[in-house]
Structure 1
């Protein structure tokens, strides 16, 4: 079978059900492959290393970022390996494709005083205030992804061990510890806030929207931006910025890299190592500012 539409449909099933990739990643990969197939004059028969390099060169000439080119290169390798395994290509042209290295800019993070100022809030009484405070405390305490936070159910909070059960990328489950401030905020929300928003069919979601449904990622982003905007001098960032901040503060406090990797749910230690660079850069900046002979 060499029909491009059929190959694309089978590739989508492979990504969704065999690789179990997130919907966002599946959409990105399918978009990339669709663009590649439109570039080929002879369908899959014209898919070789030269065609791949030509297509990527056009993307580079169009001004695409290094990160986008790196993702598209990875996508092409996944696709060519897939069609080769299915017997639709005699060879895998992606094996000879060079790696496009994405730039790894250091993430913006809050310092510990800024994080404290953001989390210090007057005693809340309304459901929205209680929920927002619990969301902020839990994001900073655990460093979980926003999608992981939204997916939490009430029973995922283990109050005996002070951990939450998180279903991360690749549907891998992990336990992430949190501290007393986060526990108190979550308990106040569960006792005084969440019951007032429960509707018929609400389900087990830990965090709810005003209509009683599961809290969505867009609302979490608005919560974070609003809370950071209330504190003068604090850089604006989204939930991922709190994840970066949590990881950096853990390392600055003496946590080892493997523990932070486990907590964040990183598949590779290389991903976690960026936070050691963040800590070093913060140390250098403080030195330059404070030392008389810097």
Structure 2
């Protein structure tokens, strides 16, 4: 076997996968493998993978479980299993070692994330943005994600030309892998998304007053651009959502009773450390739940946000039992 350092094998694996998966998936792989390879070298004294044992991967799994939820551990260990299989291919570990990597099987309750934004919270945040950050990059990011339920990666992929501010405003989502913006479901994920008038006005005013203009390296003008004239990274979208969903940001007060002058989560780069903040996916879950509560059909909602009804039912509909009862109310007949 070859004496391959963990981080060298990781870099080769990521390069190999770069043509098969989206940028966001590749980024997730990189995050997981950075943790794994860092643990191998720092904690397990594995300098080259030819000394890796199944006991090492099991000890990592136990170490990681103390720090993340079971569903996250499942994702991590699935990624590591694929990495070990690749390492077999390059003769860095013994043949068949990937079969010894144990992937946990979370319960249904563990598999479903409960993070979501409610319509009341979203309305309060939008009121704040309308007053204090109108037509800003953050305003566009939050309002578009909340009002459409689209993925962060879909918002990232939009160009200025994809926005139609006509009598019936539209955002056109297109799969463009050759110029750096693939959609998760590729061509199947392409669709036109109708916008309400107020959201369209916010985007139009952002483009008129606050958009840096210019083009990226592919000659495209991204809808979301940094002040440096580059397409905003998915991490920028995420950090803006973490920032604006911190209760202290839009209310001026901390419901956890923290001293805002001493809190570690009050900066843009540390906002995710706030227990009250959420990431972009919470808006997607919130949109789906609130749309269904408002009577929007499941197939229409699933089509609008580009997911199957099975995934919608399992992972995105977080209605309470009372809300589900009220949904059925209009369809009940006396028998």
TM-score w.r.t. the length of structure 1 is 0.71
Matched, 1:168 2:189: no
Q: 2:202 aligns with which of 172, 185, 198?
A: 185
SS in 1 for 2:190: strand
- CA distance in 2 between counterparts of 1:115 and 1:92 reads 50
Alignment of structure 1 residues 15-164 onto 2, 5 Å: 15-22=17-24, 24-35=27-38, 37-38=40-41, 39=44, 43-60=48-65, 63-86=67-90, 88-89=92-93, 91-101=95-105, 103=110, 104-111=112-119, 113-120=120-127, 129-131=134-136, 132-159=138-165, 162-164=170-172
SS in 2 for 1:144: coil
Alignment-derived partner of residue 320 in structure 2: 280
RMSD: 4.2
User: 8 Å contact 2:243–2:277 — kept in the other structure?
Assistant: no
Distance change in 2, residues 1:67/1:156 (3 Å):
same
TM-score w.r.t. the length of structure 2 is 0.64
User: 8 Å contact 2:88–2:94 — kept in the other structure?
Assistant: yes
Matched, 1:198 2:209: no
User: 8 Å contact 1:49–1:93 — kept in the other structure?
Assistant: yes
Distance change in 2, residues 1:45/1:130 (3 Å):
closer
Distance change in 2, residues 1:43/1:259 (3 Å):
farther
User: 8 Å contact 2:243–2:249 — kept in the other structure?
Assistant: no
Distance change in 2, residues 1:282/1:81 (3 Å):
farther
SS in 2 for 1:130: coil
Number of aligned residue pairs: 278
User: 8 Å contact 2:116–2:283 — kept in the other structure?
Assistant: no
SS in 2 for 1:4: coil
Q: Which consecutive residues of structure 2, in runs of 5 or more, have no partner in the other structure?
A: 175-181, 256-275, 327-335
Alignment-derived partner of residue 10 in structure 1: 12
